[in-house]
Structure 1
Amino acid sequence: MRWIGAIILLVGMTAIGFEWARRLSQRSKQIRELTTALQHFEAEVMYGHTPLIHVANRISSTVSSPLSQFFKDFGTRLKEGNHDVQSAWQESIAINWDKTAMKIKEKEALLQFGQTLGQHGRYEQQKYIQLTLTHLRAEEINAREEQLRYERMAKSLGFLGGLLAIIVMI
C-alpha cells in the first residue's frame, strides 16, 4: 500500500512540474498570438474601416482559446449594447484572464489599450495599438527567456520534489 501511495505522489508531483513548464511555454505562445491579433485589429480599423463588433468576431475565429473566448466575449458585449467599448473590453479581460498563462504586465498593457478604444480617430488609435504591440513584444522576449531558463528546471523539480517527499515519508 505504501508503494502505491509513493507512486501516486511521484506522479502527482511530476505532473505539477510539467504543468508549470506548460504554462511557461503557453505564456510566450499566447503573447505572440495576442500580438498577431492586435496587428489584425490594426489592419481592420485602419484599412478596412470595420466596426469593432465585426473585428472582434473575426479575430475570435482566427486565434485559439483562451484568446478566442476573450474576443468573442468582447464582441458579444458590444453587440448587446449595454456596455461602452472600454467597459466591454475590461469586463472581457476580467472574465477570461484566469484562463490564460499571461501575467499582470500583459494585463496592464491590454487594460491601458482598452482605455483608448473608441476615444480617438483612426491614426491616434493606430499609435496606441503600436504602443501596446511594443509592450507585448518586450514581454514576449521576457517570456521566452523565462521559458528557456525555467522550463527544464520545472519538470525536474516536479519529479525530484516527488522523490524527496517519498524519501521523507519512508
Structure 2
Amino acid sequence: MLVKMIGAALILFAGTLIGFLQAARYADRPKHIRQLAGALQRLETEIVYGRTPLPEAITRIAANVQQPTARLMEAVTAQLQQSDGRTFNECWEAAIRSQWPSTAMRSAELTVAIRLGSTLGISDKDDQLKHLRLAAVQLKAEEDAARDEQAKYEKMSRSLGVLLAILVVILMV
C-alpha cells in the first residue's frame, strides 16, 4: 500500500511538473520574441546612428540584453571571430540555429531571424534599416500571436498535466 501511495505521489508530481513546464514555454515565448525584437532595435541604433561595425555592434548588444537573446548574439560573435572565410550570413545562420533550441521561440521567428541575417552587412545603412524594421514588424506580429496562444493554452497546460496525472493514478489503482 505504501509503495502505491509513493508511486501515486510521484506520478502526480511528474504530471504536474510537465504541465507547468509546458505552461512556462507558452509564457516565455512572447518574452523571448520581445527580447529579440529589442536586440534588433539596438542593432538598428548601432548601425544607423552609431555607425558601428556589425561585429562590434553585435558584441555590444550581447552585453546589454537578457538571456537567451544574449546567448544568440554571443554565438554570432563567436562565429565571426573564428574567421574561417565564411560570410556574415553563414556565421549568423550557424549561430542562430545552434542556440535556437535554448529559446521558447518557434520556426516562424527562426525564419525571420535567418532572413534578416542574409541582408545584414551586405548593403548600405538605409537598406539595412528597412530590413531591420521589417523584421521588427514581423516579430511584433509573432509576439501578438504568441500572446494569444499564451492566453489560450497556458492555464490549460497546467491543468492538463495535473488531470492526466490524476487519470494515470486512478487507472493504476
Three-state SS of the structure 1 residue aligned to 2:49 is: helix
2-side partners of 1:130 and 1:145: how far apart?
23
Range moving further from structure 2, 93-102 or 49-58: 49-58
Q: When the two structures are superposed, what TM-score results if normalisation uses the length of structure 2?
A: 0.96
Alignment deviations for residues 88-147 of structure 1 (CA, whole Å, 9 cap, x no partner): 100001110110000000000111111111111100010000111110000000000100
1-side partners of 2:78 and 2:34: how far apart?
24
Range moving further from structure 2, 60-69 or 123-132: 60-69
How do residues 147-162 of structure 1 correspond to structure 2 at under 5 angstroms? 147-162=150-165
| Counterpart among 31, 51, 54 of residue 52 in structure 1 | 54
The alpha carbon displacement at 1:79 in A equals 2.3
Unaligned regions of 5+ residues in structure 2, if any? Answer: none
Residue-pair matches, total? 170
1:140 corresponding residue in structure 2: 143
Unaligned regions of 5+ residues in structure 1, if any? Answer: none
In 2, are the aligned partners of 1:60 and 1:67 still within 8 Å (CA)? Answer: yes
Flag as ranges the 4+ runs of structure 1 deviating above 2 A.
none
| Counterpart among 21, 24, 32 of residue 22 in structure 1 | 24
Amino acid at match of 1:126: L
2:115 corresponding residue in structure 1: 112
The alpha carbon displacement at 1:70 in A equals 1.0
Q: When the two structures are superposed, what TM-score results if normalisation uses the length of structure 1?
A: 0.97
Alignment deviations for residues 42-99 of structure 1 (CA, whole Å, 9 cap, x no partner): 0000010101111111111112222111101111221222231101100001110110
Root-mean-square deviation (CA), in Å? Answer: 0.8
Amino acid at match of 1:14: T
1:129 corresponding residue in structure 2: 132
In 2, are the aligned partners of 1:53 and 1:76 still within 8 Å (CA)? Answer: no
1:98 to 2:101 alignment: yes
| Counterpart among 3, 8, 11 of residue 5 in structure 2 | 3
In 2, are the aligned partners of 1:14 and 1:162 still within 8 Å (CA)? Answer: yes
Amino acid at match of 1:138: A
